[in-house]
């Protein structure tokens, strides 16, 4: 088993349990995506708190930039020291994303290969299965990566599968009926791949994925520290929509459906976490506190001046009284 297969194992158990419970791949993907989002919630908290920490030290970082603007090496050293002291770094927001990469790879394997990860059919036997179903040439060599299509054909044939296929299933102690697979959601075949040249109901999947990516980018940008927001970072945030569109038109609809659903759940997550840990709101509160402190300092200065004037007046009155007594 390769690395990707190892990463898929824990998710395979979850998917297998859900499918045998719900008997519908679309519903299974919905519950599966919710579970994954809940599992990743601690990472989301960590990422948002990291933005808060960055907001806390942002004024000091700006001071260091100004102080050591003529000495880039010293500037970098001091900034790293300050970030280390406060338990943050310029890349702290990237860590949760990097941790999610192997998870996404594992998920992709499970979604892409339901025959192996849901039904326990060995991937190396997919070529034999494809051959038994009448596939030829390059299709047979790609059988392991086209498991949804294999399952779709098995379901279409039902008990009329070729004897070679029945014998292969018998080796697992199963029949074609044991591989019954409802891979639809709202009438959409999740095993099919949307085609940009053939408009149809499958286009709903890429549109769903792109809409989710755009909305998530919009919400997440609202809670990014304004000082760290640049044109490049904004473009990168919205480029996820383009990536979603490409994936949705080149991979089975199940992948696009998962991608879009994950994005919409991410919107909800980003909104509530952003409301709770909004770095811009924190910076605004700091500015208000500093403004109040400056105003209070001015008031204190005026009071000290008045007290001094009062003291001088008292001294003058005392001197006048002294001369009058003489």
DSSP codes joined into one string, 244-313: HHHHHHHS-HHHHHHHHHHHHHHHHHHHHHHHHT-HHHHHHHHHHHHHHHHHHHHHHHHHHHHHHHHHHH
User: Which two tokens mark 32?
Assistant: 């599966």
For residues 219 and 321, state if they share a domain: no
Q: For a pLDDT cut of 90, what percent of the chain falls above it?
A: 5
Q: Are strands 188-189 and 184-185 parallel, antiparallel or unpaired?
A: antiparallel
- How would you classify residue 19: left for phi > 0, otherwise alpha for psi between -120 and 50, otherwise beta? alpha
Residue 273 in domain: yes
Report d(CA 253, CA 299) in Å as an integer.
66
Q: Does the pLDDT at position 52 exceed 80?
A: no
Q: Count CB-CB contacts under 10 A for residue 126.
A: 22
Which of 140, 171, 134, 168 has the alpha carbon at shortest distance from 153?
A: 134
For residues 42 and 104, state if they share a domain: yes
For residues 198 and 315, state if they share a domain: no
Q: Does the pLDDT at position 96 exceed 80?
A: no
Residue 49 in domain: yes
Burial of 176 (C-beta count, 10 Å sphere; 0-12/13-18/19+): middle
Cα–Cα distances in Å, from 181 out to 23, 43, 152? 8, 34, 7
pLDDT of residue 208: 93
pLDDT of residue 205: 92
For residues 185 and 324, state if they share a domain: no
Backbone φ, ψ for residue 34 (5° rounding): -60, -45
Q: Does the pLDDT at position 93 exceed 60?
A: no
pLDDT of residue 19: 86
Q: Does the pLDDT at position 163 exceed 80?
A: yes
Q: Does the pLDDT at position 261 exceed 70?
A: yes
For residues 91 and 200, state if they share a domain: yes
For residues 188 and 108, state if they share a domain: yes
User: Mean pLDDT across the chain, nearest whole number?
Assistant: 80
pLDDT of residue 146: 85
Residue 165 in domain: no
pLDDT digits (tens, 9 = 90+) for 268-322: 888 888 777 777 776 666 677 677 777 777 777 887 887 887 787 777 777 767 6
User: Which two tokens mark 28?
Assistant: 């299974």
pLDDT of residue 103: 75
pLDDT digits (tens, 9 = 90+) for 103-125: 778 877 888 888 888 888 888 88
Rounded mean pLDDT, 49-55? 70
User: Which two tokens mark 300?
Assistant: 């204190």
Residue range(s) defining the domain that contains residue 238: 3-119+181-277
For residues 269 and 309, state if they share a domain: no
Q: Does the pLDDT at position 230 exceed 70?
A: no
pLDDT of residue 233: 61
């Amino acid at each position: 088993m390769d690395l990707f297969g190892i990463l898929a194992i824990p998710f395979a158990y979850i998917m297998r349990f859900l499918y045998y419970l719900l008997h519908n791949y679309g519903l299974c993907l919905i519950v599966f995506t919710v579970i994954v989002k809940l599992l990743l919630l601690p990472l989301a908290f960590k990422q948002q708190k990291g933005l808060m920490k960055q907001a806390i030290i942002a004024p000091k970082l700006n001071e260091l930039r100004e102080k050591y603007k003529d000495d880039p090496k010293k500037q970098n050293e001091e900034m790293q020291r300050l970030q280390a002291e406060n338990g943050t770094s310029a890349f702290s927001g990237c860590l949760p994303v990097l941790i999610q990469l192997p998870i996404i790879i594992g998920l992709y394997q499970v979604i892409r290969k339901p025959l192996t990860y849901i039904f326990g059919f060995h991937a190396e036997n997919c070529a034999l299965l494809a051959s038994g179903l009448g596939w030829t040439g390059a299709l047979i060599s790609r059988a392991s990566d086209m498991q949804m299509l294999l399952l779709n054909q098995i379901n279409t044939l039902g008990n009329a599968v070729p004897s070679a296929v029945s014998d292969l299933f018998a080796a697992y102690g199963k029949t074609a009926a044991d591989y019954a697979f409802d891979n639809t959601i709202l009438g959409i075949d999740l095993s099919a791949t949307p085609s940009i040249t053939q408009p149809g109901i499958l286009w709903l999947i890429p549109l769903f994925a792109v809409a989710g990516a755009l909305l998530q980018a919009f919400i997440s940008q609202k809670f990014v520290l304004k000082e760290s927001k640049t044109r490049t970072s904004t473009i990168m945030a919205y480029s996820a929509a383009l990536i979603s569109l490409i994936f949705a038109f080149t991979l089975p609809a199940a992948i696009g459906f998962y991608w879009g659903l994950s994005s919409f759940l991410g919107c909800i997550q980003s909104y509530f976490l952003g409301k709770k840990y909004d770095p811009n709101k924190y910076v605004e509160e700091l500015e208000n506190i500093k403004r109040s402190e400056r105003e209070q300092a001015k008031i204190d200065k005026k009071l000290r001046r008045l007290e001094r004037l009062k003291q001088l007046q008292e001294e003058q009155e005392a001197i006048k009284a002294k001369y009058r007594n003489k």
